[in-house]
Structures are given as C-alpha cells and as structure tokens.
Structure 1
Amino acid sequence: MVSIGGVGVMVLGALVAGTAAVLLALALRARLGTVTAVSVSGLLWSLVAIALVTLVPTRPDVGIVPAETRSESCSWDYGGPTGAAFEVLGFDQRTLNVLLFVPAGAFLVLALGRWWSGLVLAPVGLGLLAAYSLAIELTQLQLARIDRACDVTDLVDNVLGAGIGFVVGLVLLPVLTPWRGRRADH
C-alpha cells in the first residue's frame, strides 16, 4: 500500500501549483493585463492550495480508516473541539481556516474587477467559494481514508475568510485598477 500525506506533500503540491500559476499568469498577461492575469492565476492557485491543505492526510502513516469507525455526519457543535491540538506558527486551527480562504476571496474580486459584469459575478463567486468549502467538508465526511472530520465550524470559518478576502479585494481594486489592463502595461 502506498501512503501519501503529510505537510511535505502539501508544500510540494503548492509549489508545483504555484509554478503552473506563474506560467499561466505570464501566458495571460498580454491578453488581460498584469493585475487580472496574476489575479486569475492566484485564484486558481489558492483553490488548489485549499484542496491540498484540507484533503491531503495530515500524516503519511494514516493508513486505512475503516468505514465503520468514520463519522456518519458532520459535527454541528459550533466552535467544536478546540483548535489547540493543531497549531502552525502560533495560529490555532480556526484562525488558519479563516486565513486559508482570504487569498481566494481577494483574488476573486481582483480577477473579476476588470469587467462591469464583475459587479454581479463577484458576489456569485463568493457564493461559489462557500459552496467549495461545503464540498470539501462533505468530501472529508465521505472519505474515511484521509482521516479528516466534517465540521460546521470549519465551514463558517472558511466563509468568513473568503468574506474578509472579498473586502480586501474591494479595497485593493481602486489601487490596482485592473480595468486599465493592457494599456497600463505597455
């Protein structure tokens, strides 16, 4: 049996996805302008990074988690178990869940800020980020092998992070002016 997991796999995946995102940004730059090209690529990279962090097992030695022992439903205990058991750089799990979605929310606004249709599409995209978080939680529930737990607190924290990122994107929009696109780059 081959086990894949751990922080090293997550970091390697993020680096590979980051390289692909840089190449995509370079390819899109001439057509969309630097701000929009970087934002589209950054949004795609952040979605991949979110999937890596939330769906790759935290340890390579997890092994098979028998289906009989996995949870049958999502935890509805808001605030749930304390995130103190999982810390990175002094941040607890709840803070990390919020921070994980901030870039996606910001890049979403900046990627769509070039067009007037972004006024409608950006809020729809925010809803899709919430749906993405829900899909991740449901995947965690169904895939016993990854030894993750479906939790409503994670969903709320993720949506909060996307919302904070959305506001950050709105603040950056008039500064970065993606609608100037190619004219400003030449």
Structure 2
Amino acid sequence: MVSIGGTGVMVLGALAAAVVAGLVALALRPRLGTTTAVALAGLGWSLVAIALVTLVPTRPDVGIVPAEGRSESCSWDYGGPSGGAFEVLGLDQRTLNVLLFVPAGLFLVLAVGRWWSGVLLAPVGLLALAAYSLGIELTQLQLARLDRACDVTDLVDNVLGAGIGFVVGVLLLPVLKPWRGRLTRVRT
C-alpha cells in the first residue's frame, strides 16, 4: 500500500499549486490587469493549499483507520482539547486554522473588486468559503483513512480567518484599485 502524508507532501503540493497559480496570473494579466489576475490565481492557490493542509494525513504512516475506530459525529466541544495538541512554528492549531483562511478571504475580495457585481459576489463568496470549511470538516468525518477529526472549533476558526481576510481585502481595495488595468477596445 502506498502511503502519502506529512507536512512535506503538503508543502510540496502548495509549491506546485503556486507555480500553476503564477502561470494562471500571467495568462490572465493582459485581459484583467495585474491585481485581478493575481487575486484570482491567489484565490485558486489558497483553496488548493487549504485542501492540502486539511485533507492530507498529517503523517505518512497513518495506515488504515478501522471504521469502528472512527468518530461517528463532529465534536461540538468548542475550543476542545485538540487545539493545543498540534503546533507549527510555535503557533497552535486554532491560530493556524484562522491564518489558513485569511488569504482566501483577502484574494476573494480583490478578485471580485473590479466589478460592481463584486458588492454582491464578495459576501456570497464569504458564505462559499464557510461552506468550503464545512465540506472539509464533513469530509474529515467521513474519510477515516485521513485520521483527521471533524470539529466545530475548526469551522469557527476557519470562518473567522476568512472574515479577517475579507476585511483586509476591503481595506486594500482603494489602495490596489483592481478596476484599473482594463483593456480598452479599439473601434475600427
């Protein structure tokens, strides 16, 4: 059986996704301008990075988790014991869950900020990010092989991170002005 997992796989996947996102940004730049192209590519990259960090097993040696050994429901113990059990760079799991969704919220606002419809698309996109987080938690619940836990604390922290990114994106809109950089059509 082939085992895939660990932070190395997550980082390698995120780097590969960043290369693809860079190429997408370069391809979109002439049509949409730099800010919007980078924001759209960054949003795609951040969604892939979130999936990698949350759905790749934390260790390559997880093996098979028996169905009877897996949890039957999500943990509703808000702020439960798992928050302090996992640390990276001195940051606990709750902080990492918040930080993980900040780029998605930021890139979302900048991606739709060039159009007037962005006033409606941005809040709908924020709800979609919350649904994405819920989908991840439900996937973790159903796929015991991942050896991950479905936890309401993760959902709240993820939505908080997306909201923080959203606010930062709104604050950056007047600075970055994604509505600039449009190609004008030349009439012949």
TM-score range, shorter-chain basis?
over 0.9
Query: Structure 2: how far apart are the matches of 1:85 and 1:78?
Result: 15
Measure, in 1, the Cα distance between the counterparts of 2:100 and 2:110: 17
State how far apart, in whole Å, the 2-side matches of 1:145 and 1:38 are: 35
Query: Counterparts of 1:58-97 in structure 2 under 5 Å?
Result: 58-97=58-97
CA RMSD of aligned residues (A): 0.7
* 1:182 Cα offset (Å): 3.3
1:98, CA displacement in angstroms? 0.2
- Give the TM-score, by structure 2 length: 0.96
Q: State the alpha-carbon separation in 2 of the partners of residues 108 and 81 from structure 1.
A: 32
Partner of 2:137: 137
Identity of aligned residues (%): 84
| 2:180 equivalent to 1:180 | yes
Per-residue Cα deviation, 1:125-158 (whole angstroms, up to 9, x for no partner): 0000000000000000000000000000000000
Question: 1:83, CA displacement in angstroms?
Answer: 2.0
Give, in angstroms, the shift of residue 81 of structure 1. Answer: 1.0
- Which residue does the alignment assign to 1:45? 45
Post-superposition shift, 1:82?
A: 4.4
1:160 counterpart residue number: 160
Say if 1:83 and 1:92, in contact at 8 Å, map to a contact too: yes
CA contact (8 A) 1:141 1:148 kept: yes
Q: Which residue of 2 aligns with 1:115?
A: 115
TM-score by length of 1: 0.97
> CA–CA distance in 1 between the matches of 2:11 and 2:174?
33
- Unpaired segments ≥5 residues, structure 2: 184-188
Cα deviation, residue 79, structure 1 = 0.6
Match of 2:31 in 1: 31
3-state DSSP of counterpart to 2:31: helix
Q: How much does 1:58 deviate?
A: 0.2
Distance in 1 of aligned mates of 2:101 and 2:176? 21
More helix by share: 1
Give unmatched runs, 5+ long, in structure 1. Answer: none
Distance (Å, rounded) in 2 between the aligned partners of 1:45 and 1:71? 30
